[in-house]
Amino acid sequence: MHNAKLVLEDGTEFYGNAFGSEMIQTGEVVIQTGMTGYQEVLSDPAHANHIVVMSYPLIGNYGLNHDDFESIDPAVKGLIVREKCNHPSNFRSTESLESYTKVNQIPAIEGIDTRKLTRHIRQHGSMKGIIAPSTMELNEAISYMSDTNEEPSYVRSLSTVKPYVVPGRGKRIVLIDLGLKHGILRSLTKRHCHVTVVPYNYAAEDIARLHADGMIISNGPGLMKDIRSVVQMIQSFMNRTPLFGIGLGHLAIAQACGAKVEKLSTGRYVTGLPVTDVEKKTTHFTSMHQTEAVIESSIESTPLEITERVSEDGSIAGLRHQSLPICSVQYNPESAPGPEESSYLFDAFLTSCTKIHTS
């Protein structure tokens, strides 16, 4: 007997069995296609306001551990799976999926036909949904969703409140926190960088006092309308500091250079997505979280050029400035979850910092 359901804002209902938190929750329903990486997905700040549907049919079989989280507190609104594993098998596992969702107040449902749900979202576009008891009337569920239409700025709520330092003896990097993943910090500390993490709205003059060798604008949740101040800050540093944008930071750099962005109809939340280097004609696999995209026609009047494209549809995956040490990628080079083939981008960025610093 089903005791929970997912209701989409178009009135479609999917029934299953609840686990995790018993609270009613709303959010944008998105499809995550990775076979693995559910722990990183649950703890990825970029999934704030998302009810995540895992398209792979069995989730939780290797449990969760203390080392692979991407944030201290999960931001995901809910989880939908076809089947959860109740008895994970992995020597690193310290907790089951059901235990984690219950402790962290994440409402979840298993037993839903996730293939049918995925097709529905692909055909009709992204939409809001609500995880609720199976006894809730459809009209009540729709009304509940309409009462929570106004969404806060998740960058504002997830960005650090005060600057903090991750010490190192290498390059001095300022990391603008738009809702960053711990994977970025791991990638930089592995390269011995001295990292200062600052809030998304940190004043440009205060950043200048840090005398950074380079600046990274992180990935994060939300839309470009939430970070207009970040675009202005980027513009003030373009001629004096090497810049590297990831995910939402990629969009911010594009807009700072004069390009325009648009919201995708379904979004793209993929692990193992092939991306092709335009110059080298080589392809590598990436992990991508994308809600908005750069409009290619808007690049023509900017100093930007396309460096990488998504292999399957030719959409923009990477950009760079034609004369300044500024580059960005839509995907996650820190790759958690996902392949590590693009981690070399951090090395390339640090090399550009060296060139500017010693010139």
pTM, two decimal places: 0.91
| Alpha-carbon span 340 to 334, nearest angstrom | 7
* Burial of 73: CB neighbours in 10 Å, binned 0-12, 13-18, 19+: exposed
Per-residue pLDDT of the chain in tens (359 residues, 90 and over written 9) = 589 999 999 999 999 999 999 999 999 999 998 888 899 999 999 899 899 999 999 999 999 999 889 998 898 999 999 999 999 999 999 999 999 999 999 999 999 999 999 999 999 988 999 999 999 999 999 999 887 655 667 898 899 999 999 999 999 999 999 999 999 999 999 999 999 999 999 999 999 999 999 999 999 987 898 899 999 999 999 999 999 999 999 999 999 999 999 999 888 988 888 999 999 999 999 989 899 999 999 999 999 999 999 999 999 999 999 999 999 999 999 866 666 778 889 999 999 997 654 44
- The kind and range of the H/E element at 58 are strand 58-59
CATH topology of domain 154-358: Rossmann fold (3.40.50)
CATH topology of domain 4-146: Glucose Oxidase; domain 1 (3.50.30)
Domain boundaries defined on the chain: 4-146, 154-358
Asked if residue 74 lies in contact with residue 102, where contact means CB atoms within 8 angstroms, the answer is no
Place of tokens 């999926």: 97
